[in-house]
Structure 1
Amino acid sequence: MKTRLVTASVLLAALGVTAAPPPVSAASLPPVSASSPPAPAGEHGWVTSTLRHMSLEQKVGQLFATYVYGADATAPSAADRAANRAAFGVETPAEVIERYHLGGVCYFSWSHNLNDPGQIATLSNGLQRAALDDGSKGRVPLLISTDQEQGVVLRMPAPAAQFPGAMALGAARSAGAARTAARVTGRELAAVGIRQPYAPIADVNVDPANPVIGVRSFGADPALVAGLTAAQVLGFQDDAGVTAVAKHFPGHGDTGTDSHTNLPVIDHTREEWDRVDAPPFRRAIAAGVESIMTAHIVVPALDPSGDPATLSPRILTGVLRGELGFRGVVVTDALNMAAVRQRYGDERVPVLALKAGADQLLMPPDLRLARDAVLRAVADGELTERRVDESVRRILTMKYRQGLARAPFVDVDEAVRTVGAPAHLAAVTRVTDATLTAVRNDAGLLPLPRADRSVLVTGWDTAAFAPVATVAASFTARGARTTARPATLPSDQAIADTAAAAAAHDLTVVLVNKAWDTEVGDPRASQQRLVAALLATGRPVVVVAVRDPYDIAHLPGVDTYLATYSYTRAAMDTLVRALHGELSPRGRLPVTIPTADGTGVLHPYGHGLTW
């Protein structure tokens, strides 16, 4: 486990920004081309009638949401057929829906669901057809979801609008920008049939060594995070008509442990939890959030049993529903994560989650085992059918409010026109331009004068966005003689070769990603050695943190440093324009950057340069 760099109390001492969402009129959903048969009048009528016609197996199926393999509902590739057969015992996504009466499906790129807008919309329609054509009266439209937080966690590929993410929005200090990002994102998702983005992140990132949240959070100030969380709830729900999901309750921002691989323990006192972690969830609930996702974390101050929050009646029923008054759908974080599987077997986890107060069970490691365990718990009396009905009623209510009872299908042609529309991409540029944070310009290097120069662009890279090539191309377009040399986690030889190349150029721009992560044996430490070698050439070096802004504490000697918080193409375009003085950096740090040893503050919350 990594050592926390600085305590939450030290970081919070410098904070004090409050953001509140301005009123914005609601907008309608994208038009649809087909609809289900007329529903009983009103929400209550449809929910009650639907629930009455469902068998127990159908009700239990509504509790589960999971992935399926394939780009087409009925004609997946041979490889995806084999993957479905291994995971679910049937070959096509449609058959998975039909066999398990699934209430929800979650799209991923690795399950081959997300290629282009037309394909995604067609897949969604095919899955809805499978859900609605099961030959019984208990037909229920499907809830389709994905992780579209934006920034470093996004699933929809280009041409979808790709905003820079939560911490970047925190740097912009604009509730309006946060709401715009959610509105545009939500409309594009709705256009392809996705009605549940697992966003916004309501965690307050007060631990710089947090390996799983970091830039996914709006920042370290509870008031700022609360305001932007509420703004995004309104953007998703009121403006785009999709269900916002505030996560991860009761707050995953102060841990050095990744719940994907181990069980984190949050040591906040009850007073600290009320002051630091609770405000964003309170604001989300006040804004009308319809869904909240649980965290697989232990919070002894809220429940001393040692059970993760996902399985804790004291936290989900006692605190979330009882104290905070939440009445919507509680969805678990993925049940295939290690943190929730440590104390109990996979057949017990879904039953315990329901007993704790969860409604929607996300991605169990064995769907058949989980489904059968819940059915057996009802048969044995451990769970009552009435308890199952409570969760199903909440899920049906959420689906009705999304418009799924009226119009479960989407217009494929309209999806193609909506996703990546010029107005949406223009909004991405406007929002991103306000997020870039200039942290250091000690040598006065920036903004760069227009001059004939040779530029080396190097450092961390990823094929999905190619930030090194993107930055290099932007320099070339401005008349520079540019070399792109990706050096992601470079070897010692690659570092030496890159430094030699830098010595032959007038300027080097180097991208770093979590260069602070220096756990023993972690290859990310090579980024620190690369930056040191570049500085040793004596040539001007611009260092850009394309993820966590904390990297500067571990890069001694750097005098020119900027933070983009993400590596989207829009973020890289904003960066290069700012480097050349075509726009002025406006972002301010939404976190405190501590010194490397964690004993002090290197750059305070709110710091940011401009020119």
Structure 2
Amino acid sequence: MGTTRRSRQLLALGVGAALLAGCAGGGTSDGSESAAPGGGEAADAMTEWIDETIAGMSLEEKVGQLFVTYVYGTSADTAHDSNLEEFGLATPAEIIQRYHLGGIIHFSWTDSLESPRQVAELSNGVQDAALSSGAGVPLTISIDQEQGAVLRFGAPATEFPGSMALGAGRSVEDARAAAAITGQELRAVGITQNFAPVADVNVNPANPVIGVRSFSSDPELAADFVTAQVEGYQDSDAPERTVSSSIKHFPGHGDTNVDSHHDLPIIEHTREEWEELDAPPFRAAIEAGADSVMSGHLMVPGLDDSGMPATLSPTILTGMLREELGFDGLIYTDSLQMEGVRSQYPDDRIPVLALLAGADQLLMPQHLDVAVQGVLDAVGSGELTEERIEESVRRVLRAKWDRGIVAEPHVDPDHAEAFVGSEEHLATAREITDRTVTVLRNDADLLPLDSAPGSVLVAGWDEATTAALAEGFGERGATTTTLPNDFQPSREQIGRATAAAGEHDLTVVLTNGAWQDARSGQRDLVRELVATGQPVVAVAVRDPYDAAYVEEAGTWVATHSFNRVTMGSLARVLLGETSPRGSLPVSVPEPAGSGDRFPFGHGLSW
């Protein structure tokens, strides 16, 4: 079995790795495996491999292919206490082999992402574990690398601003390039699936969970950018191997003020409103060949009045996504640990209901052993048929074949080390990010600065973000001081900042989510800095909505993102080294709700 069995299968099919690797593509709309990219001999080989593999699998192996979860540790064979605590097994390899997992997912907190070489070697190790177990099927290795606010694998990997920043840049070519570099770097370290791009249309400024993860509040603009990123991630003509994209969170998480991590959002869109506001990015991305769709844990009574969250709704996953939109790729659930799906049902029932609704892959169940047994019991009772299990297994295997994982499950750590974060990639990221900075107010013509100030105070949200911006000024000869605070600065912190402002030529103050009442201290900080009479630039480093809440500040900039590359671009814009080109991809409403403070498309330049 294992690697030996897989090698015999591929040799018997007479298909070389080069042919298999060229078969990358998305799900077909008609469900026909013969429609796979490459057609003819390649499609026949894929069908024969899938048929033979499924015929040789036990029920436990088939069910295992439907589960994706995290494992802890920097290598496949190293014991980690958290693995023992959560799974009763010490190493990633043991977990993969025990449950015959279809995939794993990385997070920053799983202690699995240290360097390109380490991740590549981990990928090879977990693939060896999968290939030596049961049916010998390689893993899908996943990550949420949306960029911007949701970034799991940081430097030295190339970092880009997030979706809303790209929307502000208005360049679909930039969005496509950012996805292509991100995806190819991920694949170089063995990651094969990126849960991106976000297809939600952020029409609700009070959205606590999507916000800048969305490209825009305009459905057509969002659709254009989602399509570009799907194409970038999955480009079959790319010089490097590519990753599967996953558009999320179907049927649309943009119009809610509830975070589905903590509760079940209810979205009151009618079917007509859904068609107009939420559907365009999903339709466009499916048409572009997205490999997978992730469901959202949210209730939309206008689409399904059963009271079921979308993840568990046959009406939404099968009726709308499969039958109406014609999607036959993989349907992933969002994390099954989120309260949006756990609030109504026990953990052994959730995966069963998700499969009955039409999902294929079950992401991060709260208790893996309970979830797997729940599915096995449902097959034993007849609630789920083995044919239904095989339907999803067939899609899982097809996706692995199409993305070239079957042909080439391993990666070269030397190549990963050289390719990830290359100077060419970093230069492209800087150029793209420069085009996303958006100037909202410049009432006193403070910007651009005539010359580098002699001293700069960088105050406000986050130690790393203030330090990154200060570094940009310091590289140009300025003396810098940073006074960071968290989301709710104390009176003492505000007092120190206002005292320091008088000792510097310029103060730049950074806000993050200051529009929220729980973070209103950030507004006080900006107001009191402005009241010193010293030059102050206020910068919303996440939601641009902050700029409507402190009218006293005459200079407001929105970056929509707060990573190091964005702070570098911000410094260049403030100093006049590059002109701001960003335009708001959302409107910024008045706090009282009467019109817009800054309309959609607004952005100043010089």
Q: TM-score, normalised by structure 2?
A: 0.92
Letter in 2 for 1:315: I
Counterpart of 2:64 in structure 1 is 61
Match of 2:531 among 506, 515, 536: 536
Asked if the contact 2:585/2:600 (under 8 Å) is kept, the reply is: yes
Q: Distance in 2 between matches of 1:429 and 1:163?
A: 8
Asked if the contact 1:71/1:115 (under 8 Å) is kept, the reply is: yes
Q: Deviations over 1:134-160 (max 9, x none)?
A: 2x4x21000000000000101112110
Asked if the contact 2:161/2:566 (under 8 Å) is kept, the reply is: yes
Q: Distance in 2 between matches of 1:414 and 1:139?
A: 26
Matched, 1:221 2:218: yes
Q: Distance in 2 between matches of 1:336 and 1:588?
A: 37
Matches within 5 A, 1:119-268: 119-134=118-133, 136=134, 138-238=135-235, 239=238, 240-268=241-269
Asked if the contact 2:452/2:473 (under 8 Å) is kept, the reply is: no
Match of 2:54 among 51, 60, 82: 51
Match of 1:483 among 481, 506, 530: 481
Q: CA deviation at 1:38?
A: 5.5
Counterpart of 1:91 in structure 2 is 90
Q: Distance in 2 between matches of 1:452 and 1:275?
A: 48
SS in 1 for 2:508: strand
Matches within 5 A, 1:571-610: 571-610=566-605
Q: Distance in 1 between matches of 2:366 and 2:472?
A: 44
Q: CA deviation at 1:451?
A: 5.2
Matched, 1:71 2:74: yes
Asked if the contact 1:364/1:370 (under 8 Å) is kept, the reply is: yes
Letter in 1 for 2:52: S
Q: CA deviation at 1:265?
A: 0.5
Matches within 5 A, 1:411-430: 411-430=412-431
Q: Deviations over 1:110-163 (max 9, x none)?
A: 0101000011001110000000012x4x21000000000000101112110100
SS in 2 for 1:293: strand
Which moves more between the two structures, 490-499 or 277-286?
490-499
Q: CA deviation at 1:313?
A: 0.2
Asked if the contact 1:36/1:406 (under 8 Å) is kept, the reply is: no
SS in 2 for 1:184: helix
Q: CA deviation at 1:480?
A: 2.0
Q: Deviations over 1:71-90 (max 9, x none)?
A: 111014xxx2x211121111
Q: Deviations over 1:230-258 (max 9, x none)?
A: 11111111245210100000000000000
Letter in 1 for 2:116: P
SS in 1 for 2:495: helix
Q: What root-mean-square deviation, in Å, do the aligned CA atoms of Structure 1 and Structure 2 show?
A: 1.1
Q: Distance in 1 between matches of 2:475 and 2:124?
A: 42
Q: CA deviation at 1:487?
A: 2.2
Matches within 5 A, 1:351-500: 351-450=352-451, 453-462=454-463, 466-488=464-486, 489-500=488-499
Q: CA deviation at 1:452?
A: 5.0
Q: CA deviation at 1:418?
A: 1.1
Asked if the contact 1:436/1:575 (under 8 Å) is kept, the reply is: yes
SS in 2 for 1:110: helix
Q: CA deviation at 1:431?
A: 1.0
Letter in 1 for 2:142: S
Letter in 2 for 1:559: G
Q: Deviations over 1:259-296 (max 9, x none)?
A: 00010001011111000000000000100011000000
Q: Distance in 2 between matches of 1:286 and 1:62?
A: 26
Q: Deviations over 1:537-590 (max 9, x none)?
A: 011110111110110111121110111111111100110111011000001000
SS in 1 for 2:247: strand
Query: Residue 378 and residue 442 in structure 1: after superposition, are their counterparts in 2 closer, same or farther (change >3 A)?
Result: same
Q: CA deviation at 1:481?
A: 2.4
Q: Distance in 1 between matches of 2:7 and 2:521?
A: 56
SS in 2 for 1:473: helix
Show structure 1 runs of 5+ residues with no match.
1-34
Letter in 2 for 1:174: S
Q: Distance in 1 between matches of 2:301 and 2:164?
A: 28
Query: Residue 424 and residue 37 in structure 1: after superposition, are their counterparts in 2 closer, same or farther (change >3 A)?
Result: farther
Q: Deviations over 1:343-365 (max 9, x none)?
A: 11111100000000000000000
SS in 2 for 1:511: strand
Q: Distance in 1 between matches of 2:419 and 2:75?
A: 21
Asked if the contact 1:36/1:407 (under 8 Å) is kept, the reply is: no
Q: Deviations over 1:40-61 (max 9, x none)?
A: 3522122111111111000000
Q: Distance in 1 between matches of 2:290 and 2:456?
A: 48
Q: Which runs of 4+ in 1 moved over 4 A?
A: 35-38
Q: CA deviation at 1:453?
A: 2.8
Q: Deviations over 1:482-525 (max 9, x none)?
A: 2111122321111111111112222100011011011xxx2x11
Q: Deviations over 1:414-442 (max 9, x none)?
A: 11111101111111111111111111101
Letter in 1 for 2:154: P
Matched, 1:315 2:316: yes
SS in 1 for 2:108: coil
Q: Distance in 2 between matches of 1:262 and 1:109?
A: 24
Counterpart of 1:288 in structure 2 is 289
Show structure 2 runs of 5+ residues with no match.
1-5, 16-44
Q: Distance in 2 between matches of 1:321 and 1:242?
A: 22
Counterpart of 1:560 in structure 2 is 555
Q: Distance in 2 between matches of 1:545 and 1:528?
A: 11
Query: Residue 451 and residue 178 in structure 1: after superposition, are their counterparts in 2 closer, same or farther (change >3 A)?
Result: closer
Q: Distance in 2 between matches of 1:395 and 1:122?
A: 24
Asked if the contact 1:435/1:586 (under 8 Å) is kept, the reply is: yes
Aligned-pair identity in percent equals 57
Q: TM-score, normalised by structure 1?
A: 0.91
Q: Deviations over 1:89-112 (max 9, x none)?
A: 110000000000000000111010
SS in 1 for 2:233: helix
Asked if the contact 2:140/2:191 (under 8 Å) is kept, the reply is: yes
Asked if the contact 1:85/1:91 (under 8 Å) is kept, the reply is: yes
Q: Distance in 1 between matches of 2:493 and 2:567?
A: 24
Letter in 1 for 2:547: I
Q: Distance in 2 between matches of 1:113 and 1:605?
A: 40
Asked if the contact 1:455/1:480 (under 8 Å) is kept, the reply is: yes
Query: Residue 568 and residue 259 in structure 1: after superposition, are their counterparts in 2 closer, same or farther (change >3 A)?
Result: same
Q: How many residues align?
A: 564
